[in-house]
Amino acid sequence: MIRKPSVSYLILPALIGIFAVCLACSSGKPVEAEEGRAVAEPKATLSAEETAFQERIQPLFKKYCWRCHNVDEMKSGVRVDQLSAVPEDRILFQLPGFQKQIDDGLMPPPEEPQPSAAESQLLTVWISQTLTAARTRDRKKNGSVRRLTVPQYRNTLKSLLKLDEDLTEGLPPDGISKDGFANNGQALVLSPLQVEAFFEIAEQALDLCLVDEKTKPVIQNFVMEFGASINPKPCPDQLILGANNALLNNADFVVTEPKPIKPFEFEPFAMQTKFEFIEGYVGNDTIRAWKKFDSIYHSVFACVRGSPGYPKGEAYQVIPSGLVLRPSIPSSEIFGVSNTYGPMANFKISLRELPEHGNFRVTVTAAKYDDGLLLNAGEPPHVAETSSVSADAAKLGEGVTIKDAGIYQVDICTIPGKSQGLLTLSLGERHFAGQLLETKAGAESVGDGTQLPEQRTAFVVVRLPAGELKLQAKYGNNARLQRILFTPLKDDSDLARRFKIFEQRLPTLGVYLGLRRDCGSTLTPVGASQSVSTPDLKAYVFEGSIRDFPNPDVEKNNVNYLAGIREIGVRSESTDGRDMPRLLIRSVQFEGPFYDTWPPPTHRNVYIESTQRNDPAAYAREIIGSFATRAFRRPVTSAELDTLFQVWQRRFAEAQDFRQSIKDALLVVLTSPQFLFLIENSSTPEPEDLDPYELASKLSYFLWNAPPDERLLHLAATRHLHDSLDSEIERMIRDPRCNQFIREFAGQWLSLDKFDVVATDGQRYPKLTRDAKAQLREEPIEFVKYLIEQNLPLRNLIQSDFIVANEVVANYYNLASRTESGLRFVPVKHDSEHLGGVLTQAGILAGLSDGRESNPIKRGAWLARKIVALPPDDPPPNVPQLKDDDGTKLTLREKLERHRNQKGCAKCHAGIDPWGLPFEAFDAGGLLKSDRPADTSSKLPDGTEVKNVNALKAYLAQDRIDQVAFSALKHLACYATGRSLSYNETLFLREQATKLKSTEYRMQDLIRFIVKSDLFLKK
Amino acid sequence: MTSRLQLNRRAVLKGLAGVTLGLPLLEAMGKEVAQAVPRRFCAMYTANGMSLPNPKHGIDEWSWFPKTEGREFQFGKSTEPLTPFREHISFLGGLHHPNGTKADPHLCSDMWLTGAPLHNPKPGMFNSVALDQIVAQHTKQFCRQPSLVLSIDAGVGFLSRTGTISYNIEGKPIPAENNPRRVFDRLFRGDRNSAVAQREQLQRRIKLVDAVLESSRTLNKQLGQSDREKMEQYLTSLDEIESRLTASEKWIEIPLKTQDYSHLNLDATSEGEPREYYRNMFDLIALAFDADITRSVTFMLNREDGMGISDTFPLKLGLGRTHHNLSHAEDKEGQMAFAKYDLFLSEQVAYFLNRLQQFKDVSGSVLDNTIVLYGSGASTTHNPLNLPTLVAGGGNMGLKHGTHWRKPKTLMSDLYLSILRSMKIETPNFADSSGVLRDSIFSKV
């Protein structure tokens, strides 16, 4: 709708363009002048401030600024022509910048006409007044309607349905707002494709949850047990599973299908044992001929194909008590660079059949093996002492007598000759195998002075009990084996100390599920890995939902022997390659679908207990009412219930199918906006208090990224939530669900997605392997989590004397010797010049690079935006791209420098680059450069000079901690409310936050401050 | 806008065609569908690479790639059958998938149409979406079936030894059909029972969408002063879904175009004579395009690494060794025989192009309105660089043919993006694409 301005305006044609802007703003609605459409109605009279602006202020802006800062030109991305007497929020954010430019005499630039001192003052005073005036104006609040993000939807569905399966894989990812968050209501768009997906997911979910109570479930259960010659009736066929086949000996494992004990009736599932295939492998060749097979061992295999070449010892060994595994040393699995068959020491059960849905349970009976420390190539054999005991090869059967219990070094004495490779040695019931790395040395002198034609090689260090020790050894045909020498080690010797650290280490057991490919496996971990702490066999349980793992997607009766084979991987996890006692696996059991009860909880969760079970309509209404109340996170209204009940009625009238009719009604619940959206309903433009249920959801989606639990809803129902805020926040932060918040918030605040996508140059940064990257990606999250859990002062985010690391991360920073925590993240003192805080974490610095070279601009812009909340303006539309190949031989750094000095770029870059330059000491792998630039000093935008990263950190953590706190609060507030903040809200944070300074801006205090502020509690 | 005509992809996955009731196409689906010039895509894959003989054997004229580049190129002996289509085809050289160089080379057929990083798959996911399925997403609203997925062997083969080249949005393999009779029945003889079941399913879904709409509108009224923009978006989406479902229901009523099926030999199978088999499959694709049953087709002509029946075809043709063994041949005789198998395939492709040229659209021939991609995931055995690639047709979509275009280290994904853009599918990128191919055969990208 376009209205003609009144006649009096028409006599000032030059100003017409501006009217649209001013009038629109005075009516409170933003209008884009360039669209040429004024939506607002002109008012008859102008207010005093409008008159003043038009008469005195605007002409000055027009005269001095408009030429460069208008809709077409938009130098540095700035427009001045949009200014009005009552600027909209977006423009308020820019005004302090304008003021500073004028104050400092930077704008207009020297070559342009300059305003007089009086004119400059007029403008700066006007800006001050306008900002002050803006503070007193109340902003309208109109509630909010925002869709659940994909993770929120996933968590909500899981919690509501008690369904473990993740059905949300196919949903498109959420958009990211300008503040960097995926939960911003404005950025969360909705397309028909998405809504269609919500219908599909709801349909699938309900199919999985509800069962036919009268049918018996079918349960698959099998056990694979290991031990040398454990199988009295091994499969007589030579088993082959594709090219470069590696399977355990048929006699060394046995597969059975025992019937589990359950408190309900079920159908045991027997795996298929008869097959006919036309394609299969013989060695590396495909054959094509129909062939019949009949054995469970053509259905379930014990596969050990992995990358060969375990650096020390045998990757795996079957001994009488089971299968012993060394840690799985990962391979990068890139063709031509490394083996694609997966890690070294890669055991998995390969099998044809697993259930199609439901939860499963893998139980591994395992123990920490009472192991010896294999010695490295070239480690010296012990000089025989009087306390040494020797066992001659010819009389090994007699064993030896160990006089005192203790730590012994075992050396192998051989007649010099050609190395015979593998030595297997049994000491009592303990078994060792490894390459005997003989030196070339010939005869040498031994303690008693006689010359023996033997050479001695250090092999293993073990703890031995006193008494008789049975011995067995095999080295080639044993012709060169002379004797085995046992020498007790002094408790304080280096080697004994090394051994004591070694024997304290706990292997970590990991279970995986995936698919076999000819070129390796796709294995995904089943839950978290577990420490195996005892030398006695114990059951370790791993659970998952089968649908969350890759499905083979092949048809039944595929004609290829290798088609659709799944794998259950069982590993001792590797960290940084340190020596680790082996993991003993006695058996692996699989059960699925796993039910404790029947019907399962997902079913009973919907089919609630009721006295009305025999009255279909009444029971249906009860079911739907209860479900909708939980789904909507507030009591369902009677109008809503009527609509839903009608869906049930209509369907039930058609075929009297109770379950199907319930499904239909619940499907409507799961696709309704009351479920999919977080709604804060507002009845007036004035700020109103959240209602208790709205508050419960707002809190839980903030601190858990998940729906409110029963307690929160109970407090809402009894209207006690508002006055229980302190204790609820406390409780919610302690709850494990809080990790979902921290992962989401920290990941987005610190832009960890950048690290996910950076293509690291593997040649330059060989330490930044796929597995190291996965752990380094966790480091910032674990760090923030630790700060919150311990309620530490915020300054630690910038500068801390510890890092939070596991062995992989610590090893990346060359701090491996300070950790013994396996894959667990723990605080580690670093005593380093350059570590501590998030700024110098490898995941951050490497993410802010191009994978090859460090990039001070990316790092500077990140710090400005995320850490000090002084975001640079967006680059202007005509910004030139830096070209890789522009015909010059400049380095990236030199190109960036040239770019920075270009006119039009300099202003923005003055607010970016100084923050990034100190980080030039770090390479694109996030570690100190080996050829460190001599000068990493920087003059910060406020004029402070810092000489290096440490000085920058100190400056931020001490002098500028208020600014850092403001940034943390601003990001927390944006995330908590799911929207961008208004100008007034940012001012509120800036001013009020200093109250937290006396207690050093502790992390939980920041969270509490946000929750208890109006920006969270009002709608 | 054509949004009201869009079809639900799941609703029409299984055969609906041929149920001859009621409305003619124009009346039911509106002018836009009935009269617009269609844009189609067909991808054909051959495994184990093409013959690029070792120069020491002195049989360069048997190289699959033409000797000279540019518009002056000459056909080699193995591509001679394509000579009549010189102005409708181009050879493209120097293409590769960067991820192909990192993964085990046997995976090249898995990733040919997807470009996925199979050496480092996302947990829980194997492949990523294939080009034909992106095309299908954008063309499905104009035809009865989003796509047609064919292969020499039925099903999907298995991970890393795929039997299909088509992967859906979630990266899951789409099972292929290999039997001419089954394909014919599915496309041209829709089965009555499944149509009824489909319709019931559609009607149920429409009712549920209605109920959600009702519940949402009630809520919307209660929302008072709240920001309603998001709710409006939701209601619009629901409306949209409802109209798609309604459109899907309508296709069930529309009769198929009348076509001549007399030349088909539906008893041909992959176990029989290879030439007869391929020709019938190509006839079916051409007929499906002509009747606008689908606009996106993939056909895996043979499989990598000695899998499946196609490995034996060279034996049946008297070339002495299996396909996989021929591709590994180092000797002159073996490389010659491998080239002769290429020649056999060229004859089949020429037959197909000819069929497409004979069928006429509202404007131009079906070939003019179809971009045909033919190629392999390896140049010679297990070499993932310089992928042999032939593009045919699509003259009405701005393709300028009759050339041997070559640019080393060009991304396959850039070719795919160029194909999408030529089809007016304005997606910003495809897989690891860096942009469209400039100064190439694509004049409208």
Contacts of B106 in chain A (CB under 8 A): 518-519
pLDDT one-digit tens code per residue, A386-413: 889 999 988 999 999 999 999 999 999 9
Q: Distance between CA atoms of A995 and A1001, rounded to whole angstroms?
A: 9
Reported pTM: 0.84
pLDDT one-digit tens code per residue, B120-137: 877 667 799 999 999 998
Residue A487 scores a pLDDT above 50: yes
Nearest CA in chain A to B221: A681
Rounded mean pLDDT of A16-39?
Answer: 36
Cβ of B119 within 8 Å of Cβ of A340? The answer is yes
CB pairs under 8 A between A and B: 192
Instruction: Give yes or no for a contact between B205 and A199, defined as CB atoms under 8 angstroms apart.
Output: yes
Q: Distance between CA atoms of B238 and B433, rounded to whole angstroms?
A: 33
Q: What percent of chain B has pLDDT over 70?
A: 90
DSSP bridge pairs for A329: A344
Residue A192 scores a pLDDT above 90: no
In a domain, B248, yes or no: no
pLDDT one-digit tens code per residue, A199-218: 999 999 999 999 999 999 99
Question: Given pLDDT bands bounded at 50, 70 and 90, which one contains residue B28?
Answer: low
A95-104, B152-161, B225-234, B247-256: which is most confident: B152-161
The pLDDT score that the predictor gives to residue A941 is 87
Contacts of A684 in chain B (CB under 8 A): 224-225
Q: Residue A490: how many CA atoms within 13 Å on its side-chain side?
A: 5
Looking at residue A410, its amino acid is V
Of the candidate ranges A487-501, A534-548, A936-950, B242-256, the one whose mean pLDDT is the lowest: B242-256
Rounded mean pLDDT of A930-936?
Answer: 84
Tell me, yes or no, if B211 comes closer than 8 A to chain A by beta carbon. yes
Range of the domain at B58: 37-179+269-422
Work out the mean pLDDT of chain B and round it to a whole number.
Answer: 87
Tell me, yes or no, if B203 comes closer than 8 A to chain A by beta carbon. no
Cβ of A549 within 8 Å of Cβ of B226? The answer is no
Rounded mean pLDDT of A873-899?
Answer: 63
The pLDDT score that the predictor gives to residue B9 is 34
Residue A7 scores a pLDDT above 60: no
The pLDDT score that the predictor gives to residue B251 is 75
Split into its structural domains, chain B has a count of 1
Cβ of B208 within 8 Å of Cβ of A664? The answer is yes
The interface residues of chain B toward chain A in range 84-103, judged by CB-CB distance below 8 A, are 101-103
Q: Distance between CA atoms of A532 and A370, rounded to whole angstroms?
A: 12
The pLDDT score that the predictor gives to residue A451 is 53
The pLDDT score that the predictor gives to residue B220 is 81
Alpha helices of A656-769 — where are they, by DSSP H?
658-671, 673-676, 692-703, 710-717, 725-734, 738-749, 753-757
The pLDDT score that the predictor gives to residue A452 is 56
Neighbouring residues of A129: CB distance < 8 A, sequence distance ≥ 6: none
Cβ of B241 within 8 Å of Cβ of A195? The answer is yes
The domain locations on chain A are 7-136, 218-369+507-592, 373-503
Instruction: Give yes or no for a contact between B36 and B142, defined as CB atoms under 8 angstroms apart.
Output: yes
Looking at residue A547, its amino acid is R
pLDDT one-digit tens code per residue, B279-332: 999 999 999 999 999 999 999 999 988 888 999 999 999 999 999 999 999 999
The pLDDT score that the predictor gives to residue A509 is 98
Nearest CA in chain B to A632: B219
Residue B273 scores a pLDDT above 50: yes
Q: H/E/C letters for each residue in A779-804? A: HHHHHHHHHHHCCCECHHHHCCCEEE
Cβ of B224 within 8 Å of Cβ of A677? The answer is no
Strands A566-573 and A538-545: unpaired
Name the fold adopted by A373-503.
Answer: Jelly Rolls (2.60.120)
In a domain, B350, yes or no: yes
Tell me, yes or no, if B175 comes closer than 8 A to chain A by beta carbon. yes
Q: Strand order in A406-414's β-sheet?
A: A373-374, A455-464, A406-414, A481-488, A389-392
The pLDDT score that the predictor gives to residue A967 is 96
Residue A880 scores a pLDDT above 80: no
Rounded mean pLDDT of A946-950?
Answer: 94
Cβ of A681 within 8 Å of Cβ of B169? The answer is no
Q: Give the 3-state secondary structure of residue A1016.
A: helix
The pLDDT score that the predictor gives to residue A148 is 96
Instruction: Give yes or no for a contact between A969 and A1009, defined as CB atoms under 8 angstroms apart.
Output: yes
Q: What percent of chain A has pLDDT over 90?
A: 64
In a domain, B201, yes or no: no
Residue B1 scores a pLDDT above 60: no
A45-49, A129-133, A188-192, A763-767: which is most confident: A763-767
Nearest to B156 among A553, A668, A683 (CB): A553
Residue B34 scores a pLDDT above 70: no
Rounded mean pLDDT of B37-54?
Answer: 95
In a domain, B229, yes or no: no
Residue A38 scores a pLDDT above 80: no
Q: What percent of chain A has pLDDT over 70?
A: 90
Rounded mean pLDDT of A415-442?
Answer: 85
The interface residues of chain B toward chain A in range 234-273, judged by CB-CB distance below 8 A, are 234, 236-238, 240-241, 244
Nearest to B208 among A517, A555, A668 (CB): A668
The pLDDT score that the predictor gives to residue A189 is 79
Cβ of B158 within 8 Å of Cβ of A640? The answer is no
Among A753, A774, A758, A325, residue whose Cα is nearest residue B123: A774
Query: Tell me, what CATH number does B318's domain have?
Result: 3.40.720
Cβ of A639 within 8 Å of Cβ of B126? The answer is no
Rounded mean pLDDT of B221-231?
Answer: 76
Nearest CA in chain A to B305: A286
Instruction: Tell me the shortest Cα–Cα distance from B436 to chain A, in angstroms.
Output: 18
Residue A313 scores a pLDDT above 80: yes
The pLDDT score that the predictor gives to residue A185 is 87
In a domain, B151, yes or no: yes
Which value, to the nearest 10 degrees, does the dihedral of the CA atoms of residues B5, B6, B12, B13 take? 160
Work out the mean pLDDT of chain A and round it to a whole number.
Answer: 88
* Interface-testing mutation among A168, A335, A551, A1018, with chain B (most B C-beta atoms within 10 A): A335
In a domain, B223, yes or no: no
Of the candidate ranges A331-335, A727-731, B441-445, the one whose mean pLDDT is the lowest: A331-335
Overall residue count recorded for chain B in this entry: 445
Extract the tokens encoding B388.
Answer: 């042999």
- Peptide bond just before A217 cis, omega within 30 deg: no
In a domain, B100, yes or no: yes
